[in-house]
């Protein structure tokens, strides 16, 4: 076998390559070591005043769904929702908060679920009577809107329809605002709560070919607020928002010129009543959504109502019964309603882990087109706070 002797030049080149490779891998090891050192220091800093606090919630579920009329069934596991929060104190009166949300077993590679930046705001606290949030935030509306992400603290697996993130956003509640002034005023044994906010209209650009996505394409704003009262274990309030909707895309369906469907005023009105005692829990909400379309002979209202009554059988076991009702009339396009009676229970393993079960029947009544349907859902879930 022929063998070509290695010349001094080749040997030098080979030794240089080996030195470079050794140096490269040494740098990689140093970078990894520094990375883990920084991670350890960062984790330790979370316990120190002023450090970034990282925490969150997630809920994994196993569901059985049945279409009673078509006799179709399916079973599926899902990571229903995960919220990752970052919080940091910025001084005696300032703090910052960030909320990332992932739903439906999110995976961009597999085109599953969704991932969004839900909140990123800075909070200024002058006193309990006046606080101010600036940045992307979830505004106050009725009882559940601001706390709907706290899945381990809520008894539901599937939350009342308008608050269930795995179903996507609905028009019933405001999803985002950018400035909110809020606080409470003591009145002897009671507290008067208030929140007023401003945000974008629903006319937000989603087409990157037009302009920057995520920005409002109109010069209108969302205005809204909630005024409530707490007395002992009782809580009640009224909420409202007003914005303007560009509905020109529906001109063909309504058979009118697009100009008539520009800047349609939209009004949300809500009311909530809740009670949380040592054993009993009561939650109820009502939402009425109306539009000022230029068709006085037609009704374009949408309504939603839910009520939940629960009882704590022990420190660990809680059971509840709930009823939801929704109605939408968007003539001449559609008219439909659905009713959902549901039962559920939770078992608290500890302060961080809760097991849940929930079953529901869904009765759908559609007038345009005419269709009645019945569905059954049964879910098991584990909800974790970390």
Tell me whether strands 112-127 and 221-231 are parallel, antiparallel or unpaired. unpaired
- Give me the count of residues in the chain: 386
Per-residue pLDDT averaged across 211-227, rounded?
Answer: 94
Confidence (pLDDT) at 8? 37
Residue 13 has pLDDT above 60, yes or no: no
Distance, CA of 285 to CA of 160 (rounded, Å): 10
Distance, CA of 182 to CA of 180 (rounded, Å): 6
CA angle 379, 173, 107 (to 5 degrees): 50
Assess if residue 132 is contained within a domain: yes
Is residue 111 located within the same domain as residue 195? Answer: yes
Confidence grade of residue 141 (pLDDT, cut at 50, 70, 90)? very high
Confidence (pLDDT) at 43? 46
Tell me whether strands 334-348 and 353-368 are parallel, antiparallel or unpaired. antiparallel
Confidence grade of residue 332 (pLDDT, cut at 50, 70, 90)? low
Assess if residue 2 is contained within a domain: no
Confidence grade of residue 297 (pLDDT, cut at 50, 70, 90)? low
Distance, CA of 369 to CA of 296 (rounded, Å): 23
Assess if residue 4 is contained within a domain: no
Confidence grade of residue 36 (pLDDT, cut at 50, 70, 90)? very low
Contact 343, 320 (CB under 8 A): yes
Count of domains for the chain: 2
Assess if residue 92 is contained within a domain: yes
Residue 48 has pLDDT above 70, yes or no: no
CATH of the domain at 287: 2.40.160.10
Contact 140, 239 (CB under 8 A): yes
Is residue 177 located within the same domain as residue 291? Answer: yes
Confidence (pLDDT) at 209? 83
Q: Which domain holds residue 25?
A: 9-45
Residue 192 has pLDDT above 90, yes or no: yes
pLDDT tens readout for residues 165-175: 999 889 999 99
- Kindly state the percentage of the chain with pLDDT values over 70: 84
Confidence grade of residue 253 (pLDDT, cut at 50, 70, 90)? confident
Confidence grade of residue 293 (pLDDT, cut at 50, 70, 90)? confident
Q: At 68, list the tokens.
A: 């009673």
Is residue 20 located within the same domain as residue 76? Answer: no
Residues whose CB is less than 8 angstroms from the CB of residue 300 and which lie 6 or more positions away in sequence, other chains included:
290, 291, 293, 329, 330, 331
Is residue 20 located within the same domain as residue 105? Answer: no
Distance, CA of 272 to CA of 229 (rounded, Å): 10
Distance, CA of 309 to CA of 263 (rounded, Å): 40
Assess if residue 263 is contained within a domain: yes
Is residue 269 located within the same domain as residue 292? Answer: yes
Is residue 276 located within the same domain as residue 344? Answer: yes
Residue 70 has pLDDT above 90, yes or no: no
Confidence grade of residue 329 (pLDDT, cut at 50, 70, 90)? confident
Q: Which of 308 and 70 is assigned the larger pLDDT? A: 308
Is residue 21 located within the same domain as residue 125? Answer: no
| Nearest alpha-carbon partner for 273 in 228, 234, 236 | 236
Residue 351 has pLDDT above 50, yes or no: yes
Assess if residue 194 is contained within a domain: yes
Quote the DSSP letter at residue 204: B
Is residue 27 located within the same domain as residue 64? Answer: no
Is residue 347 located within the same domain as residue 312? Answer: yes
Assess if residue 319 is contained within a domain: yes
Residue 14 has pLDDT above 70, yes or no: no
The verdict on pTM exceeding 0.75 is: yes
Is residue 74 located within the same domain as residue 199? Answer: yes
Per-residue pLDDT averaged across 240-257, rounded?
Answer: 85
Residues whose CB is less than 8 angstroms from the CB of residue 104 and which lie 6 or more positions away in sequence, other chains included:
78, 79, 80, 112, 113, 114, 166
How high is the mean pLDDT of the chain? 87
Q: At 136, list the tokens.
A: 């992307």
Is residue 25 located within the same domain as residue 81? Answer: no
Cα separation values, 181 from 67, 184, 216, 222, 375, Å: 46, 11, 22, 14, 42
β-bridge mates for residue 281, sequence order: 276, 310
Is residue 32 located within the same domain as residue 116? Answer: no
Per-residue pLDDT averaged across 90-105, rounded?
Answer: 97
Confidence grade of residue 259 (pLDDT, cut at 50, 70, 90)? confident
Assess if residue 3 is contained within a domain: no
């Amino acid at each position: 076998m022929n063998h070509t002797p290695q010349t001094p030049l080749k040997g030098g080149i080979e030794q240089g390559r080996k030195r470079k490779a050794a140096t490269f891998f040494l740098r990689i090891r140093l970078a990894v070591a520094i990375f883990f050192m920084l991670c350890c220091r960062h984790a330790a800093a979370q316990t120190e005043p002023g450090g970034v606090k990282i925490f969150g919630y997630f809920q994994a579920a196993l569901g059985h769904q049945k279409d009673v009329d078509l006799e179709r069934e399916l079973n599926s596991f899902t990571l229903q929702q995960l919220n990752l929060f970052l919080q940091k104190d910025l001084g005696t009166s300032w703090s910052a908060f960030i909320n990332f949300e992932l739903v439906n077993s999110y995976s961009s590679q597999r085109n599953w679920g969704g991932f969004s930046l839900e909140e990123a705001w800075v909070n200024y606290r002058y006193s309990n009577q006046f606080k101010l949030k600036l940045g992307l935030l979830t505004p106050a509306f009725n009882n559940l809107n601001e706390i709907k992400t706290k899945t381990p603290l809520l008894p539901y697996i599937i939350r009342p329809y308008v608050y269930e993130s795995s179903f996507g956003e609905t028009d019933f509640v405001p999803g985002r605002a950018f400035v909110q002034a809020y606080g409470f005023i003591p009145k002897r044994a009671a507290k008067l709560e208030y929140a007023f906010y401003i945000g974008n209209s629903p006319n937000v650009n989603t087409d990157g070919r037009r302009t920057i996505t995520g920005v409002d394409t109109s010069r209108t704003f969302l205005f809204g607020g909630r005024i409530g009262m707490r007395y002992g274990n009782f809580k009640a309030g009224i909420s409202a928002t007003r914005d303007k909707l560009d509905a020109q895309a529906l001109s063909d369906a309504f058979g009118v010129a697009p100009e008539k469907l520009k800047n349609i005023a939209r009004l949300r009105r809500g009311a909530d009543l809740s009670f949380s005692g040592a054993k009993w829990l009561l939650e109820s909400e009502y939402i009425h959504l109306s539009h000022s379309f230029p068709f006085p002979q037609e009704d374009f209202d949408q309504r939603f109502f839910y009520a939940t009554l629960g009882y704590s059988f022990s420190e660990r076991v809680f059971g509840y019964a709930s009823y939801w009702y929704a109605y939408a009339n968007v003539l001449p396009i559609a008219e439909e309603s659905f009713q959902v009676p549901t039962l559920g229970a939770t078992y608290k393993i500890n302060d961080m882990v809760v097991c849940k079960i929930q079953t529901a029947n869904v009765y759908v009544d559609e007038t345009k087109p005419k269709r009645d349907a019945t569905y059954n859902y049964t879910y098991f879930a584990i909800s974790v706070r970390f």
